[in-house]
Amino acid sequence: MSTSVIHPPETKLAPLAWLKLNLFNTWWNTLLTFASIWLVYTLSKGILVWVFTEAEWQVVDANLRLFLVGQFPIDQIWRIWIILIFLALLSGSALAIWARNSKKLAIGMALTPLLLALLPFEWSERFWLVGVSLSGVLGWYLASGIGSKVKPLLYTGIGIWFPVSIILLSGFSNSSLTLTEVGTNLWGGLLLTMILTIGGIIFSFPLGVLLALGRRSNLPAVKYFSIGYIELVRGVPLITILFMAQLMLPLFLPAHVTIDRVLRAQVGIILFSAAYLAENVRGGLQAIPNGQFEASHALGLDAFQTTWLIILPQALRIAIPMLVSQFIGLMKDTSLVAIVGLFDLLGIAKTVLAQPEFIGLQREVYAFISIFYWIISYGMSYLSQKIETAVGLGER
């Protein structure tokens, strides 16, 4: 006989009733509320005055394209828009299947490109932003109508999105009739930051899972190799690995062999992130009670089936908050590539501040790029909370 968990009924209060219940229910809370309002006003007054009256935002207006895509050729920008439209289609479909009740999130993702169109873009770019929004709505509508039948296509699309994006960005020939080759030295700004972040997440995740499983292996060679790798990489800062990848690696290669600088940085970020991810996954594995192993063995499952079907799904579910926190840190750590000569979002900011007409506008430039980092970090955190709710994390 199956039992279901009965949740307490939800009560929705009107805005005034909520304010009275939470902020003005006693004289002490009323006093604290007014004191907090005064403190926030005092701390934010100077910032708001600077933002709206003193800041010289023309530095952002004049260099907006540089912040977003670096020196990527203007006549090839359509490639980036195709990638974003494909991503919006996949995102809308994924939300409709895995987070059907998150209507606020879906509406927010659909409206974000339209709000971005208010920035000083050209009309052609605003047209593309509308296309991104419509693509997300289309993905939601199709997945809502077809349901689970679209899952295989969604999995395929997610699997090919990153390699297809890299092919579109880089091109493969010098002919104008095909995709013109665009060197990675022209990739920059937010574009390069997101490539390093997404590539680091995609490739470090399976490597980190394997290292976590290897550290718990009964085979001495596998176990001690995993332990050695994890402890060695976690014992040095990321900037050291980036310097090794950029400056030391060419010394070990033949003179005629060269590796792209962006690829070197990407590999360094992947190897660094995998070591930390392995420890997060190992924490999830250790949280699984021994009864799960014994029950799976009693059912006749071998070690691989036990790990793949029983243990690993539960461990990854437990480790979701830690993994997302690490991915957010990874996104912010990509700013270190500016130190080794790559023009990510932070590197572009330094080049903008080197322009004679914009010298001394550090506050405006760094405030602008901080907004991008905050939006991406908050978006990942909010999505993590929705995933935790969907999988029932924290519930008995």
The confidence score (pLDDT) of residue 172 equals 80
pLDDT at 4: 54
Contact 64, 119 (CB under 8 A): yes
Could you report the per-residue pLDDT of 54-97, keeping only the tens digit for each?
A: 888 888 888 888 999 989 998 889 999 999 999 988 888 888 87
Residue 33: exposed, middle, or buried by beta-carbon count in 10 A (0-12, 13-18, 19+)? middle
Tell me the domains of the chain and their CATH numbers: 74-181 (no CATH), 186-391 (1.10.3720.10)
The predicted structure's pLDDT at residue 2:
47
- Helix, strand, coil shares of the chain, percent, nearest 5, are 75, 0, 20
pLDDT at 5 over 60: no
* Cα separation, 369 vs 364, whole angstroms: 9
Residue 360 has pLDDT above 50, yes or no: yes
Q: Is the pLDDT of residue 206 over 90?
A: yes
What does the pLDDT read at residue 9? Answer: 59
Helix axes 123-146, 103-116, angle to 10 degrees: 160
Tell me what percent of the residues of the chain surpass a pLDDT of 90: 33
The residues that bridge with 180 in the sheet, in sequence order, are 173
Residue 349 Cα to chain centre, angstroms: 21
Give the whole-angstrom CA distance, residue 67 versus residue 116: 14
334-353 mean pLDDT? 89
What's the pTM value of the predicted model, to 2 decimals?
A: 0.86
Nearest to residue 328, comparing CAs of 377, 387, 279, 373?
A: 377
Greater model confidence, 350 or 395: 350
Q: How far apart are the C-alpha atoms of 331 and 16, rounded to whole Å?
A: 40
The sign of the torsion formed by the CA atoms of 200, 203, 208, 211 equals negative
Summarised one tens digit per residue, pLDDT across range 239-257 is: 999 988 888 777 777 777 7
Share of the chain above pLDDT 70, in %: 92
What SS3 class is residue 131?
A: helix
Exposed/middle/buried for residue 25 (C-beta within 10 Å: 0-12, 13-18, 19+): exposed
Residue with tokens 């992947």: 270
Q: What is the chain's Cα-based Rg? A: 25
Backbone angles phi, psi at 383, to 5 degrees: -65, -35
More confident residue, 49 or 14: 49
Confidence of residue 202 (pLDDT cuts 50, 70, 90): very high
Cα–Cα nearest to 293, from 310, 316, 317, 314: 310
Retrieve residue 140's tokens: 């939601």
pLDDT tens digits, 95-148: 887 766 666 767 777 788 878 777 777 778 888 888 888 888 888 888 877 766
- pLDDT of the residue at 204: 94
The pLDDT confidence band at residue 301, using thresholds 50, 70 and 90, is confident
What whole-number distance in Å separates Cα of residue 232 and Cα of residue 211? 13
Mean pLDDT of the chain: 85
Average pLDDT over residues 30-44: 91
CB 261 within 8 A of CB 184: yes
Residues 312-325 have a mean pLDDT of 90
Regarding predicted confidence, which is higher, 217 or 147? 217
d(CA 349, CA 343): 9
DSSP result, 9-59: PP----HHHHHHHHTSSSHHHHHHHHHHHHHHHHHHHHHHHIIIII--THH
